[in-house]
Amino acid sequence: MGPVRGVRSPLFILCILILWAALLGTPLYSSGITGEEVAVDQLGRPYKKGEVIVRFKGAPQVPEGLKGISVRRLAGDIYLVRGGGEVVTVQGLADALKGEVLYAEPNYLRRVQAVPNDPLFTEQWAMEFISAPSAWDLTRCQREVVVAVIDTGIQMDHPELAENIWRNPAEVADGLDNDQNGYIDDTVGWDFVNRDNSPQDDHGHGTHVAGLIGAAGNNGLGIAGVCWQVSLMPLKVLDAEGWGTVADEIEAIGYAVEEGADVINASFGGYSFINAERDAIEMARSEGVVVITAAGNGGKDGIGDDIDITPFYPASYGLDNIIAVTAVDHSGMLPVFANHGATTVDIGSPGVYLLSTVPYNSYSLGIGTSMATAVVTGVYAMVKGYYQGLNYLQVKELMKRGVNQYSGLQGRVSSGGVVDAWGAVSALLPPTSLVVEAVTTDTVQISWSERATLEDGYTVERDSGEGFQVLTTLPADATSFTDTGLLDGRGYSYRLRAYLDGVAEGPYSGTLHVVTPLAPPTALTGSATTTEVVLQWVDNSSSEESYILERGLPGGEYTTLATLPPDTTVYTDTAVSGGTTYSYRLMAYNSVAGYSEAVEVLVTVPSVGAVSGGGGGGCSVRGGGDPSDLLPLIAGVSLFWYLRRRRPPSQGLP
């Protein structure tokens, strides 16, 4: 039977619950699900007998002492209702299930999406195929990224996985629920099948998936996962036969979100639309958690379906925090079993004969969209760790735009290609070799080496002392920029980052600081009398804190003559000696840029009684004076010659 939607009558739902409760078998939380516990609806979809998933508008109220029915919260306001032999009346169920019901549906089963393997390959061809070695030159992922592996469990002490198993920082193994999350001693995750704190793998699928995501690399052992370091959170919801209930899956999703997972790997699925499963994934979406899930391995005929037409879940729920993955072979083509969908399926990934970890410290080959999903999860964790400021939508878009295009995937997956670790992680790489140089008092030249592979352009930001502001945007492949119209003697900081229009901005380059030089004074001149030298100049700086005036003799050392206030343009030197030539040097100064270039001038002070002089522009000029000063001398000389001519000559005188 299909899901019941939009129900407003608890009584109606409870009638259905009685029917299912009457079919109750052995407890769900055994080591496996037996045939006696499973039923199928009219569409052939298997579900767990006697169990119903219900979503209430308010929390249900179960009276104490009522026997035969239990209600357990899975995630948010989604609950698992289990019937019992002592529940014999509608009223008993009605009393137990107070609250308005949004929907109720069977506890459908999910199973792993792997197919039997044949050991034809012994190398990790997938890592080269997705350009993982190139990406490893940039990053081997981050331990801080938490990947919830909802699966059959993980062999947590496998030599390739032990160091990458997540640890609950708020829990210790002391028999208490230290973090008060409802799970006692959940130090490394939880087993939702057996209801204990040891999510060990008794099937093999979960360990294989975990190895593809995060087997430790460069450790001298068998293989390397996409992420050499990461935190794998084991959440066991599938039993030793690879089957599990949606109720356990939903509870595991809630656990993963509450415990801080960044991404959930869901290498399972089925053809049943389940409201509660969709709602749980949507709750994860509200917390920014992405669910990467298998597109499926075809129906009963083993031939891949177009899930745009024949939906497969969770892949087909249409939520933007789902990344649906199909498998490709060594040539980038879809194998016969792989589901596809031009709208529903996001990306292709290697999914044929992938070598990975399995229980008992061993390795094996795996085939299926489950394996393909794990590879994509590893790449997501890599990109998430490298671009830590990006949200799930931005990481998803970088991965889709960074694919390697393959003709066999055109019209089969929305991205048209296969996941590429290098293509995604290099999409918005920050510029390197940044050089910032003040080429004049008002101009800074910036240059860099660009590395981004998907950028639409670069954003240049400048801090003039009040925080960084966007200065300009430049086209893709730009490697230089000239910033003009600056103030002299000021400090400026610059940084850049690549951007993908409408999607994301990459990390910043390093920040470099530069100081524009102070504009020096110009047109320094000097004029002298016997008692003083008057100096004048043009003030060109807008940032000087003072002017430093120095004096010396030509060819000698300078000493500071005066420190003058900003905007000064004239100075009179009265401590001069006649007949002396002085060399003056003038510089602008501030505490940021230091000293400007210097300007110099020579000035000669005239001797006492001599004609006064002046100087300017680096030379001295002699002469000048008032002509009226000569009149008494001229008159005296003229009188002397007049009297001499009138005197009679004396004897013996020439």
375 vs 369: CA distance, rounded Å: 10
Exposure b/e, 499-525, CB count within 10 A at least 16 = b: bbeebbbbeebeebebbbbbbbbeebb
Q: Are strands 443-449 and 432-440 parallel, antiparallel or unpaired?
A: antiparallel
50 vs 18: CA distance, rounded Å: 9
**From 203, 205, 208, 340, active-site residue:** 205
CA 540 to chain centre: 45
Contact 506, 499 (CB under 8 A): yes
Q: What DSSP state is assigned to residue 210?
A: H
82 vs 17: CA distance, rounded Å: 9
**CA dihedral over 141, 143, 145, 146, signed as positive or negative:** positive
**Amino acid letter, residue 312:** F
Is 31 a residue of the active site? no
507 vs 430: CA distance, rounded Å: 6
Helix, strand and coil percent figures for the chain, each rounded to 5: 20, 30, 50
Is 151 a residue of the active site? yes
- Listed in order, strand segments (DSSP E) in 394-442 are 404-405, 417-418, 432-440
Please, what is the Cα angle at 501 between 426 and 455, to 5 degrees? 30
4 vs 462: CA distance, rounded Å: 58
Is 205 a residue of the active site? yes
101 vs 371: CA distance, rounded Å: 38
**CA dihedral over 436, 437, 443, 448, signed as positive or negative:** negative
Q: In DSSP terms, which residues pair with 580 in a beta bridge?
A: 605
Q: Are strands 146-151 and 231-236 parallel, antiparallel or unpaired?
A: parallel
Structure tokens at 337: 């079993």
**From 151, 185, 186, 201, active-site residue:** 151
**From 267, 272, 316, 370, active-site residue:** 370
334 vs 338: CA distance, rounded Å: 6
Q: How far are the Cα atoms of 631, 634, 648 from residue 639, in angstroms, in the given order?
A: 13, 9, 17
Task: Please name the residue that has the structure tokens 């080959």.
Answer: 365
Active-site annotation, residues: 151, 205, 370
